Structure 1
Amino acid sequence: MFDGLEPEDPQQVGRYRIVARIGAGGMGQVYLGRSPGGRPVALKVVRPELARDVDFRRRFVREVTAARRVNGAFTAGVVDADPDGSPAWLATVYVSGVSLGEAVAQHGPWQAEHVLALGAGLAEALEAIHAAGVVHRDLKPSNVLLAPDGPRVIDFGISTASEASALTHTGMTIGTPGFMSPEQLTGRPIGPPSDVFALGAVLAYTAVGVGPFGTGTPHALHFRAVYEEPDLDALPLELRQTVAACLAKEPDQRPTVADLLHRMTTPGKRDTAEATPLLTEPDWMPYEVDRLVRAKAATPLPRNPTSTPALAAAPTPTAPDMPAALHGATPEPLRTPTAPATPAAPATPAAPATPAAPATPAATDASPATAPALHDEPTQTADHAAQSPGDVPPPLSRRSALFALTGTAAAVGLAVAVWKTTNGGSGSTGSPSALQSSARKPARTTTPPTPRKPGQQLWSFHTDGEVKSTPTIANGVVYFGSNDNNVYALDAATGKKRWSLDTGSVVYSSSVVVGDLLYVGTYLNGLYAVDAATGKRRWVFGDGSIFWSPVVVDDVVYVGSSDGHLYAVDAVTGKKRWDFRCRKNGDVTEAPVVVSGVVYFASDDDHLYALDAKTGKRLWAFPILDGVNSAPVVANGLVYISSNRLYAVNAATGKQQWSRAGAKYKNAGTGNRALLSPTVVDGVVYVGDSIEYLFALDAATGKKRWAFETGSSVFSAAAVADGVVYVCSENSHLYAVDARTGKKCWAFRTGAGLESSPTVAGEVVYVGSKDHALYAIQT
């Protein structure tokens, strides 16, 4: 639960003695502190680069002032702060609780009576928050801690005072896909109804085990929240009307918090004669959850500072985001996979200069004693094809691999990329309007002493936004996008900036470099073609539209858009060659794959498509249950695609070869963990799940070979090089795992969760983090 202190950590902040690390987020590091009298607090220290920003300081002072006015029975409020200090910090009540997300993941969905009791406590907490003039903006399962006497809503140190503008102006993003209101996502004014929307999503999640807008990439969840109706069919009747009212698209159509409290505590208002359990009674939450909560509350907290062991020993995973970390809760398994990516095909890249090859570390066993069981579906032969493109595509030529293959790159083997075209696009966790950052500081490069050990940092480069795009390496240069609206080009050996281009919109698309041009999608301002050497814009396609990660084959750029189309664009001129419209205008948020004249891609209309690459004519379409969670991967005549389960589909006919469901939730009667972004190398599929594991499966049959416990969600695709699997986790760690045995080689911790896929070039692995930095790490 706690990490030891690092040498750079403060020993004292204000009047509080620092005891241990709890977690980190985009805003700063969170510590367990103790007052002079020994009282534990969760102490958040703002990152120095943010604290130096005058605009950020002004907003931070305003928000802390507002947050200190919150005083409710079901909140964990601010007890002390020094927004003008050096460093700036705030301290909140420490709650030794279990997060709602952890409880649902371990013990499954709750019955209606328990959900109503939870809802009553959360509504009362929001009443207190709103009465202080504060809008929370990020109510989600990890921001709800469960205590024996009721829930606690946490983390309104980054909430927004009603009269203040959002902290997103300095690169912060506030909000979580699947729980954000339509007005957050479309840039309209935010008020208490936005928290009511989030409350409805939290209640649906608790009752069903998945949010009302399903699973998938953040882009898909954003789209559904704004334009589609929530799926409430699995909700108990006692909850359905109340949750549906909370999730109304228009703020003025949602109930007030006071009305919600009345609905959830008055039998006649919710179609049941049973009374809601009182939060003062021991049975207000499920029995198994109550036992878990009481065991956590009885666990003593550390009293004295402890140091962190060596990196190669892999520190205990920390919470993936600041909200859950603030109060010591075990990291919540996030259900919203964020723009998975697939590693690129092997070639002979101009690798960056790296230190001398280090000694191989001793592997340590990180596999679970009892790995969760995956669930087979027999091979099926039902014909899903509209028509067949002919024989199974032959093995890739080096030219084909060189230019385009997002998914086939993963099939062949390494996440090295002179021409890398993986879809590293992960969605923003904030609203599109909030992501239009202004007044940014120059990015900084920090270079620690030259390390030589595997898993140690070579350099890091900091931006003003979360780095979720998968880095691309070409000709000794690293290219990547940031939520501060910029595309960056860095020297791969030193991390020094060569150029940056402000696109005017968030960049979470991965880039592809072909010849002297770099191609990259933006959230609002179209598809860019950029001079790879200078950063000068050559052309823009679809200005004003949302485009995701492109691939390039034979002078054609293939790219998906939020308007429900896949486009083929001339790579030289930027002129459209053809477009394909998906069913129901399904958003195409993942990178396509081009193999032997066939384009494979997935859409949020719940289909995997195969198109003729020259004409855009459909060859076949395969229906996918439960939405799309990944880009396709093509290997050995099969297309691998994940929804809540992993599918292997015949590339020529579109018929299912096999499918595999994720492991069952612990102690839950129904429901499986979602399987996310696959990578296929040497006959093995490496795929993470939405809770805490990376699996190695036989690519031909789907049978499990091993499971590695990551401690949190694995949203992105793994990279494989020289017998080592590199995988990122939302608990802030990059892991290196032996590809044969599934045993851990080493781990590297960043300052926040990782949604970028790693990229390996030479003896360096590059990865972006939600702590606003890109890291270069020794392999």
Structure 2
Amino acid sequence: MFDGLEPEDPRQVGRYRIVARIGAGGMGQVYLGRSPGGRPVALKVVRPELARDVDFRRRFVREVTAARRVNGAFTAGVVDAEPDGSPAWLATVYVSGVSLGEAVARYGPWQAGHVLALGAGLAEALEAIHAAGVVHRDLKPSNVLLAPDGPRVIDFGISTASEASALTHTGTTIGTPGFMSPEQLTGRPVGPASDVFALGAVLAHTAAGIGPFGTGTPHALHFRAVYEEPDLDALAPQLRRIVAACLAKEPDQRPTVADLLHRMTTPDEEDTAEATPLLTEPDWMPEAVGRLVREKAATPMPRNPASKPAPAAQPTPTAPDVPAAPTPTAPDVPAAPTPTTADIPVAPHGATPEPLLKPAAPATPAAPDTSPVTAPALHDAPTRTADHASRNPGGTPPHLSRRGALVALAGTAAAAGLGIAAWKTADRGSGSAGSPSALQPSASKPVRTTTPPAPRKPGRQLWAFPTEDEVKTEPTVANGVVYFGSNDHNLYAVDAATGRKRWSLDTGSVVYSSSVVVGDLLHVGTHSNGLYAVDAATGRKRWAFATDGSTFASPVVADGVVYAGSTDEHLYAVDALTGKKKWSFRCGRNGMVTESPVVANGVVYFGSDDNHLYALDAETGKRRWAFPVHDGVNSAPAVADGLVHISSMRLYAVNAATGKERWFRDGAKYTIPGAGNRSLGPPAVAGGVVYAGDSIEYLFALDAATGRKRWAFETESSVFSAPAVADGVVYVCSDDSHLYAVDARTGKKRWAFRTGAGLECSPTVAGDVVYVGSKDHSLYAVQR
């Protein structure tokens, strides 16, 4: 439950003795502290560079003062603080509980009565928070801790303090995708009604196991929150009505917290449900969750600092800020001993983590857990036509060209306003946590070693999962699981926090496509077997949809429909539950669809090898417009602020409504370094900026409205993948074997992580972790 202290950690802060590490976040480290009388507190120490920021200091003092006025039964209040101290810090009530995110991820959705009991406690907590003049702004499952006598809301008020921090100078907004209100995302004033919106999203997540706006990239979640209605079909009637009211798009249409308290504790006349359980009753939460919470509460906390093993020697970097690629070792490595307290990974404040793999020595790969059941092979897919067989004799996957390798995976662009709470600790529900290790695939069987963990810092490896072939698909993270495909024909589900395998599925074909998870279904395309839907929890096949070609790119799911392209020159719309075709659109001659579509505002946008960008009506498949793209289509589109961006030898901005060109840029004419004969990679749009790599060695940042270049970042090889943008940082992969973290405002490198081979797939950011696949046959989890 706790980590031992590092040599650089303080042993005393204010009047509190530091006992152990609890977690880490954007603003600093979170410790378990004890008062002179032995009272445990969660003590949060601000990073020195933030504490030196005058604006941050001013706002931090104001927000801590307001937060200290909060005194609610269901809040973890501030008990002490020294915002002007060196270091600056604050202490809150320590809650020996389990996070709501962890509870739902481990045991699944809750029944309506339990959700209403939870909601009553959260509403009462918000009532106390708002009465003190504080708006939480980042209410989410990981900021709700479950105790035997009710929930506790943590981190209220502090997220507002971080608005003036260096983390937000690039224009980001505090909040978490899927739980942020429309007014947060559109820059309007934020008040108590914004927390009501987040409360509705938290209750929907608890009742359905998935947020009301589904899963996907931050861009997709933001768009749905602002423009689309939530999916509440899985909720019981009374709960559905309450949550729907909370999720109203306009703040003044949402109920007040007091009204919510009344509605959640009073039986609905239109429903036959019994009265909501009282939080003072032992069965206010599901039985399995209650057992876990009580076990956690009964677990003794450390009284004194745990000893920390001496850190292992680290490999010498080959270049500044770039870790050297470790060298394979022989298989005769002793098994890891039983973990000690100091070996246990960071978890959210009050959360109980599952054990991670023991950190490996720098030269030794970690072994995946092979105990879970392996799903059956999918060789029973529908037979492909003779026409397809003639294009691909023998069923051997064709070698992808560099242009073909630029597989753009839908929705990789993060929307403007992406932010993670400043005091965010490792969020197990979003896949962040873990002890770093250095890992390199080798021919020998992966083993665990006794090497102690290295210090956690950005760019440090947390774990790696080896496969039998190259990993070229963008990982998908949902409900604490990472899904990805490999050229070894398998689709994998791996625990996001530990890197342990949950299941694998032999598809009988190379998996170039990334996955998309909606509800309990995972949708993925393969080289020769078309489109599949499998159970996300078990990996067992639900249905298969055969095409006459390969499905290289990630499908997209919107409003119960799967949209996927194929090399048979069609874009298909398939019912997500049944796999039945709704419609198909035939492109022009040689019009293979090898890039992902994007669905926005009832329109499907996608590129085709017939050199066109198409816009189709999502309901009927009828064409709205077609825009000619010179020199072939290299990417999926990125849709933001009324523009569609797509790349070829040029980067285009097209009016989303009319299909008319707004601007384009290429290397020969517009001051981009090097020769103009270059392919541009998949774009990502965030904060009014378009980020795209090229086939030579650069990542570019261009103004989204005008196309003017802001900066160019040089790598050592091609940048094939779409960047991922989060918290003012652009994460991008290069074929030079590195994952780079680049400052979104300046284009300066923050850190680089080296794998054993080139990277062609897009990275995925979830919580405090970046997940990326490599041609060295591994999937990596890297601290960000």
> TM-score, structure 1 length as denominator?
0.52
Cα distance, 1:63 vs structure 2: 0.9
Aligned equivalent of 1:753, options 756, 764, 768: 768
Deviations 1:615-645 (A, max 9, x none): 227899999xxxxxxxxxxxxxxxxxxxxxx
Counterpart among 366, 369, 387 of residue 367 in structure 1:
369
Seen in structure 2, the aligned counterparts of structure 1 residues 583 and 175 have a Cα distance that, compared at 3 Å, is farther
Unaligned runs of 5+ in 2: 315-335, 423-437, 442-450, 460-552, 557-569, 575-589, 620-730, 741-751, 758-764
For 1:227, the equivalent position in structure 2 comes to 227
Q: Which residue of 1 aligns with 2:350?
A: 327
The amino acid of 1:116's aligned partner reads L
Deviation at 1:52, TM superposition (A): 1.1
In structure 2, distance between residues paired with 1:78 and 1:332: 30
2:16 alignment partner AA:
Y
1:603 aligns with 2:611: no
Q: 1:86 to 1:177 in 2, by over 3 A?
A: same
Structure 1 residue 459: deviation in Å?
13
Distance 1:69 1:210, change over 3 A: same
Query: What does residue range 537-616 of structure 1 map to in structure 2 within 5 Å?
Result: 599-604=594-599, 612-616=608-612
* Displacement after TM superposition at 1:175 (Å): 1.0
| Partner in structure 2 of residue 305 of structure 1 | 305
Tell me which of the two structures has the higher relative contact order, counting C-alpha pairs closer than 8 angstroms and 6 or more residues apart. Answer: 1
- The CA deviation at 1:53 is 1.0
8 Å CA contact 1:609–1:621 kept in 2: the answer is no
Give secondary structure in 2 for the equivalent of 1:160.
helix
Q: 1:268 to 1:308 in 2, by over 3 A?
A: same
- Is the partner of 1:213 in helix, strand or coil? coil
Once the two structures are TM-superposed, the CA of residue 288 in structure 1 deviates from its matched residue by 1.2
Asked if 2 retains the 8 angstrom alpha-carbon contact of 1:102 and 1:332, the reply is no
2:650 matched residue in structure 1:
none
In the alignment, is the contact (CA less than 8 A) between 2:555 and 2:597 conserved in 1? no
SS in 1 for 2:152: strand
In 1, the alpha carbon distance for the partners of 2:231 and 2:350 equals 32
- Asked if residue 380 in structure 1 is aligned to residue 376 in structure 2, the reply is no
How far apart, CA to CA, are the structure 1 residues paired with 2:190 and 2:105? 30
Q: Deviations for 1:177-226, whole angstroms, at most 9, x for unmatched residues?
A: 11111111111110001110111111111111111111111111111111
Q: What is the CA–CA distance in structure 2 between the aligned matches of 1:130 and 1:8, rounded to whole Å?
A: 38
Aligned to 2:207: 207
CA–CA separation in structure 2 for the residues paired with 1:384 and 1:287: 52
CA drift of 1:79 comes to: 0.7
Which moved further from structure 2: 21-30 or 169-178? 169-178
Indicate how the Cα distance of structure 1 residues 113 and 452 shifts in structure 2: closer, same or farther if over 3 A, else same: closer
Deviations 1:35-71 (A, max 9, x none): 1111111111111111111111111111111111110
Query: Is the 2:193–2:252 Cα contact (8 Å) retained in structure 1?
Result: yes
* Shift of residue 608, structure 1, vs aligned partner: 10
1:110 deviates by 1.0
Are 2:53 and 2:165, in contact at CA under 8 Å, matched by a contact in 1? no
Which letter does structure 2 place at the counterpart of 1:246?
C
Q: Is the 8 A contact 2:440 2:755 kept in 1?
A: no
Instruction: State how far apart, in whole Å, the 1-side matches of 2:140 and 2:595 are.
Output: 35
Give the CA deviation at 1:424.
11
The residue identity in structure 2 corresponding to 1:367 is D
Is the 1:384–1:622 contact (alpha carbons within 8 Å) kept by the matching residues of 2?
no
Give the conservation status (yes or no) of the 8 Å contact 1:98–1:147.
yes
Q: Which one-letter code corresponds to 1:615 in the other structure?
A: N
Aligned to 2:281: 281
1:344-382 residue CA offsets vs partner (Å, 9 max, x unmatched):
xxxxxxxxxxxxxx99645565626x3365576664328
* Distance in 1 separating the partners of 2:755 and 2:164: 44
Is the partner of 1:308 in helix, strand or coil? coil
Taking the aligned partners of 2:39 and 2:456, their CA distance within structure 1 comes to 38
Q: How does 1:445-594 map to 2 (within 5 A)?
A: none
Distance 2:775 2:54 in 1: 38
Task: Report the CA distance between 1:107 and its aligned residue.
Answer: 1.6
Q: Is the 8 A contact 1:99 1:142 kept in 2?
A: yes
3-state SS in 1 of match to 2:32:
strand
Q: Which residue of 2 aligns with 1:337?
A: none
CA contact (8 A) 1:388 1:620 kept: no
Question: Residue by residue, what CA displacement relative to the aligned partner does 1:260-287 show, whole Å, maximum 9, x if unpaired?
Answer: 0000111146634521111111111111
Q: Is the 8 A contact 1:169 1:434 kept in 2?
A: no
Counterpart AA for 1:327: G
Query: Closer, same or farther in 2 for the Cα pair 1:300/1:168, shift >3 Å?
Result: same
| Cross-structure match for 1:667 | none
Distance 2:440 2:14 in 1: 36
Distance of 1:378 and 1:735 partners within structure 2: 38
Q: Distance in 1 between matches of 2:614 and 2:767?
A: 42
- 1:274 maps to a residue whose letter is E
Q: CA deviation at 1:174?
A: 2.1
Name the residue aligned to 2:62.
Answer: 62
- After the TM superposition, which residues 68-147 of structure 1 pair with which residues of structure 2 at under 5 Å, given as runs? 68-147=68-147
Q: CA deviation at 1:384?
A: 12
Give 1:102 shift. Answer: 1.3
Task: Name 2:198's counterpart in structure 1.
Answer: 198
Q: Tell me the SS of whatever aligns to 1:17.
A: strand
Q: Any conservation in 2 of the 1:186–1:431 contact (CA below 8 Å)?
A: no
Structure 1 Cα separation of the partners of residues 618 and 212 of structure 2: 24
- Distance 1:86-1:396 versus aligned 2 partners, 3 A rule: farther
- Counterparts in 2 of 1:57 and 1:620: CA distance versus 1, 3 Å: closer
Partner of 1:182: 182
Q: Secondary structure at the match of 1:326?
A: coil
Query: Could you say if the C-alpha distance between residues 35 and 168 of structure 1 is closer, same or farther in structure 2, counting changes exceeding 3 Å?
Result: same
Residue in 2 that maps onto 1:159: 159
Give the root-mean-square deviation of aligned CA atoms: 5.6
Measured in 2, the distance between the counterparts of 1:197 and 1:332 equals: 34
Residue identity in the other structure for 1:82: E
The CA distance in 2 between the partners of 1:383 and 1:618, in whole Å, is 27
Q: CA shift at 1:169, angstroms?
A: 3.9
Quote the offset at 1:160 in angstroms: 2.6
Per-residue Cα deviation, 1:385-430 (whole angstroms, up to 9, x for no partner): 9x979824998999x65456244xxxxxxxxxxxxx9999563694
Secondary structure class of the residue paired with 2:95: coil
Q: Which moved more, 1:204-213 or 1:169-178?
A: 169-178
Is the partner of 2:595 in helix, strand or coil?
A: strand
User: Which whole-Å CA distance do the structure 2 matches of 1:405 and 1:101 have between them?
Assistant: 36
Letter in 2 for 1:427: A
Q: Does structure 1 residue 427 correspond to structure 2 residue 414?
A: yes
Q: Structure 2 CA distance, aligned partners of 1:100 and 1:363? A: 33
Corresponding residue number in structure 2 for 1:2:
2
The alignment status of 1:27 with 2:22, answered yes or no, reads: no
SS of the residue aligned with 2:105?
A: helix
Could you tell me which runs of 5 or more consecutive residues in structure 1 were left unpaired when the two chains were aligned: 334-357, 408-420, 436-450, 463-557, 562-579, 585-594, 624-715, 727-733, 740-749, 771-779
Which letter maps to 1:184? Q
Q: Deviations over 1:321-349 (max 9, x none)?
A: xxxx233454899xxxxxxxxxxxxxxxx
The answer to whether the 8 Å contact 1:205/1:211 transfers is yes
Q: What residue identity is the alignment partner of 2:135?
A: V
CA contact (8 A) 1:212 1:230 kept: yes
Give the match's secondary structure for 2:301.
coil
Q: What does residue 44 of structure 2 align with?
A: 44
What is the TM-score of this pair, normalised by structure 2?
0.51
Instruction: Quote the offset at 1:294 in angstroms.
Output: 0.4
**How much has 1:108 moved relative to structure 2?**
1.6
Secondary structure in 2 aligned to 1:135?
Answer: coil
SS at match of 2:84: coil
Give, in whole Å, the separation in 1 of the partners of 2:753 and 2:353.
19
- Checking the alignment, whether the CA contact within 8 Å between 2:363 and 2:439 is kept in structure 1 is no
